[in-house]
Amino acid sequence: MAALELMKYLDKLSQAHSDTKSIDLKAPKKIKFTASSKISRYKLEQIHKLCLEAFSKFGWVTSDHIHNQCVFANTAAYKVISEVLGIKCYLTIGYTKAYGATINKSSLSELKSELKSPNIDNPLQMHVWVTLSDGTIIDWTTEAFLTHREGEIKDIKSCMLHIDPEKIKEISYHPILVGDDYLSKVGAFRVGSNNHQQ
């Protein structure tokens, strides 16, 4: 993201934090985002390495194992980043746009409707990713999803997207809520839940 795009993203993230509280969900402690204090390359390498170790415990080794597991995979990444590495971050819920296509388009009103009447038989229309304290986005499943859609398979090592806050990418992120309270209340952690729609 260019500087202006980063500001827009962080504004949306701040609104997502407020909206999380407004619908009576537990919001994480608010983070003061500082783009000037960038996450080091070493820490990014540690995130990559430790996430892969966590994923290996589930037997995940290719993009096909995680292409429809954004809740499980990126929540696991969030726990590695926040609890193991001690990096401040948000588990972020919303939708993405990639190469001109909107993936898992959602809105606050749609997420609220699901919260009132969870439908465990239908996949959730949303995406989950991690936002670090400098605005950097970590996402393990969008690349896997796009790869699967093309009928290809990648080594899981190649699936982590690290969206640099100062560079424009072909993939944009649109936060709606933050934290894991919503995911728990709609049953998103249930076994077999599928969050990416073809």
User: pLDDT tens across 47-103, in order?
Assistant: 999 999 999 999 999 999 999 999 999 999 999 999 999 999 999 999 999 888 888
**Bridge-partner residues for 92, per DSSP?**
129, 178
Q: What is the mean pLDDT of the chain?
A: 88
Report pLDDT for 7.
86
In this predicted model, which residue has the larger pLDDT, 188 or 13? 13
* Total length of the chain: 198
**Bridge-partner residues for 155, per DSSP?**
62
Task: For the chain, give the percent of residues with pLDDT over 90.
Answer: 68
- Chain centre distance of CA 99: 18
Least confident residue range of 3-12, 16-25, 58-67, 144-153: 3-12
Which pair of tokens denotes residue 67? 């292409």
Q: Is residue 27 a contact partner of residue 178, using CB atoms and an 8 Å limit? A: yes
Which pair of tokens denotes residue 90? 């948000």
Report pLDDT for 3.
73
Question: Average of pLDDT values for 173-192?
Answer: 86
**How many Cα atoms within 13 Å fall on the side-chain side of residue 59?**
0
